[in-house]
Structure 1
Amino acid sequence: MKLSSTMERFVMHWGEMGSRWGVNRTVAQIHALLFLSEAPLHAEEISETLGVARSNVSTSLRELQSWELVHIVHMKGDRRDHFEAQHDVREIFRTVAEGRKRREIDPTLTTLRACVSEAGGETPKVARGRMKDTLDFMELMANVFEEVKALPNAGLTQWLKTSLKAKKLLS
């Protein structure tokens, strides 16, 4: 696959941003490449286009599949697996947010609930209050996320626009 200079810039930047978000640079670059691609690509095409080792591409594709950001597509007459990314940015956002919530927020909520429940007299009142405030806020954010996640795409866009208007009114 031949990338235009703009596409190459996007792919490279997405890799840099991935690193900042705790995602392997190559994983993020492959995701960006598949996101921009008009057709599914096989691993060799990805490897050649990005100049990345084939083994690295395979490992990265497995990670993207585990995040449910990329899926396998079979092409008639070709025994190789081809890969395609979700192309709707709202769906990508939902998928990434859900994965992060499941891996990061849910275990934190479980621990916070246990800490708040178990905090007795040996835990200073200030510490108990701060843990409870943290739990309440994180539960609120998790509930907001669940509501937003359930919105259809048009509803999500409208909700975001309305939230920006509400922020201006509240400021």
Structure 2
Amino acid sequence: MPLTPLHQEFVLHFGEMGSRWGINRTVGQIYALLFISSEPLNAETITDALGISRSNTSMGLKELQGWNLVRLKHLPGDRRDYFTTPDDLWEIVRTLVAERKKREIDPTLTKLRELELQGPAGDDYAEARIAELREMIEMMTGFYAEMERLETERLVKLMTLGGRIAGLIDKATGLFPTLTKRN
């Protein structure tokens, strides 16, 4: 499967971005190729298109499956496994956010709670900063949980409101100053 210049540029960019997102270059390239392919691809096609080893393809596909970012498909009359990405971009974004939360935020929150449960350590400043960080992360995860429950259409509407929401908050703060906490 020869890649068009558009495909090549997109795949190379995702490979470069992969390392910034915490995945290796090859995994980013595999995902990018699957994302822009109109048909599901098998491992052999991916290997040939990207010029990578079969073992790299296999490991990359397993990692992407672990992140719930690719789907396994079977085609009638073909015993090979084929892979594709979800068509719904919002489903992909929601999956990415959920997986990052599970892998990065949740363990950090657990550790912060454990540190606080250990009791006073004699370092008031560090203890206060840990508590402050835990509270902020809990607030963020609470907000995330509320946003996660929204249907996609409502979430899109909320996001398109953008700065107007901040303006409403500013107006509400001016009308009800006791509702906001001031430092």
Q: Note whether the superposition's TM-score is higher than 0.5.
A: yes
Q: Secondary structure at the match of 1:56?
A: helix
Q: 1:123 to 1:89 in 2, by over 3 A?
A: farther
Report the equivalent of 1:11: 11
Q: 1:88 to 1:123 in 2, by over 3 A?
A: farther
Question: Unmatched 5+ residue regions in structure 2?
Answer: 171-183
Whether 2:44 is the aligned partner of 1:44: answer yes
Distance in 2 separating the partners of 1:123 and 1:39:
61
Instruction: Report Cα offsets for 1:25-51 as digits up to 9, x if no partner.
Output: 111111111111111001111111111
Report the equivalent of 2:134: 135
Distance in 1 separating the partners of 2:75 and 2:4:
25
Instruction: Report Cα offsets for 1:92-133 as digits up to 9, x if no partner.
Output: 11111111111111111111112123231x332222211111
Shift of 1:150: 1.7
Report the equivalent of 1:151: 150
1:1-171, aligned counterparts within 5 Å?
1-120=1-120, 122-167=121-166
Instruction: Report Cα offsets for 1:108-165 as digits up to 9, x if no partner.
Output: 1111112123231x33222221111101000011111111122222122112222343
- Between stretches 36-45 and 83-92, larger displacement belongs to 83-92
- Between stretches 149-158 and 104-113, larger displacement belongs to 149-158
Q: 1:11 to 1:168 in 2, by over 3 A?
A: farther
Q: Secondary structure at the match of 2:29?
A: helix
- For 2:136, the aligned partner's letter is F
Query: Greater CA radius of gyration, 1 or 2?
Result: 2
Distance in 2 separating the partners of 1:146 and 1:167:
20
Q: Secondary structure at the match of 2:162?
A: helix
Distance in 2 separating the partners of 1:37 and 1:91:
17
Distance in 2 separating the partners of 1:96 and 1:164:
25
Q: Comparing both chains, which one has the higher relative contact order based on Cα–Cα distances under 8 Å and sequence gaps of 6 or more?
A: 1
Where has structure 1 moved over 3 Å in runs of 4 or more? 167-170
